[in-house]
Amino acid sequence: MDRQTDNDVSDVSNLLYRHPELYEVVYDGANHAVARLAETILHDHLGRQPESLLDIGCGTGRDLEYLAKHITDVVGVDHQQAMIDYARRRRPEIEFRVEDMRTLRLGRTFEAITCFGYALANVHANRDIDKVMATYAAHSHPGTVLILEMIDPLRTDKLPRGFHIDIPDLRADAIAEYRHHPAQQLLERQRTWRRAQGLVHDHVNYRLLYPKELEYYLDNHHFEILGAYELPEKLNAASAFVAARYRGEQP
């Protein structure tokens, strides 16, 4: 997803981002559960599927490919060059771009914006979260629906601990350990992959946003929260999907 590496933003080291083909093995998509939920949310609040959608932190583009079946105008953006290269090879019919979600400006608006896979959680500093919110607003017009997949700070114990890869060229298992840093509102994940060739270590810090805090950021950028949704799938048990509508700047 949209993984930032500059100062004050998440320091990420991840085997799956370096090898995107493995990302879709480990995260199998649970029969497109996230994309199907997004379809439901968009229909609930638009009365139909949107005609245009921007996916920020699109990763390999799998969710966007599913949504593009019923949305004719879609664009995917991610900060990781390897993920976008893979997405372009696998899904050449979709427009993908390498961009920083804090500074992205496409010069147009969309009926819907999605940001899945804890992409926003990889932005740590308050000023950078504001920049991302400004990006959402810059690509919205009144009525645009925004969907954010967030880590529920009260359900971090539901985050996955075990991971598995079993393909012809690679067999590996991983155990993830999590550590809270309350003063920074960060959740640190250390993950160690065990494979025949030796150990590989992953590291990421996630920024935790509490509901009223998220509401504050969204409201400051002219979004109103419409509701929160959950998935029954076990691998998404720590996720909350927050829907918001852009009301536009008041005259």
Of 24 and 71, the structure prediction assigns the larger pLDDT to: 71
Q: How many domains does the chain have?
A: 2
Residues 143 and 177 in one domain: no
Question: What number is the average pLDDT over the span 74-93?
Answer: 95
Q: Is the pLDDT of residue 112 over 50?
A: yes
Residue 185 Ramachandran class (φ > 0 left, ψ -120 to 50 alpha, else beta) = left
Question: What number is the average pLDDT over the span 137-146?
Answer: 98
Question: What number is the average pLDDT over the span 198-219?
Answer: 94
Q: 251 lies in a domain? A: no
Residues 52 and 167 in one domain: no
Q: What percent of the chain has pLDDT over 70?
A: 90
Question: What number is the average pLDDT over the span 167-184?
Answer: 89
Residues 148 and 40 in one domain: yes
| Out of 51-65, 91-105, 164-178, least confident range | 164-178
User: What are the structure tokens assigned to 76, written together?
Assistant: 């995917």
Q: 141 lies in a domain? A: yes
Residues 146 and 233 in one domain: yes
Residues 142 and 171 in one domain: no
Domain of 122, CATH number, reads 3.40.50.150
| Out of 12-21, 22-31, 89-98, 153-162, least confident range | 12-21
Q: Is the pLDDT of residue 3 over 90?
A: no
Task: Give the three-state DSSP class for 125.
Answer: coil
Residues 94 and 187 in one domain: no
Residues 192 and 108 in one domain: no
Please name which of 203, 153, 160, 143 lies closest in space to residue 180, comparing C-alpha atoms. Answer: 153
Say what the pLDDT of residue 251 is: 60
pTM listed for this prediction = 0.90
Whole domain around residue 59: which residue ranges?
A: 15-154+209-246
Q: 139 lies in a domain? A: yes
Of 12 and 146, the structure prediction assigns the larger pLDDT to: 146
Q: What are phi and psi of 52, to 5 degrees?
A: -145, 145
Buried b (16+ CB within 10 A) or exposed e, 123-145: bbbeebbebbbbbbbebbeeebb
Contacts of 183 (CB under 8 A, 6+ apart): none
pLDDT confidence tier of residue 9, bands split at 50, 70 and 90: very low
Say what the pLDDT of residue 25 is: 73
Say what the pLDDT of residue 8 is: 45
Q: Is the pLDDT of residue 12 over 70?
A: no
Which H/E stretch holds residue 108?
A: none
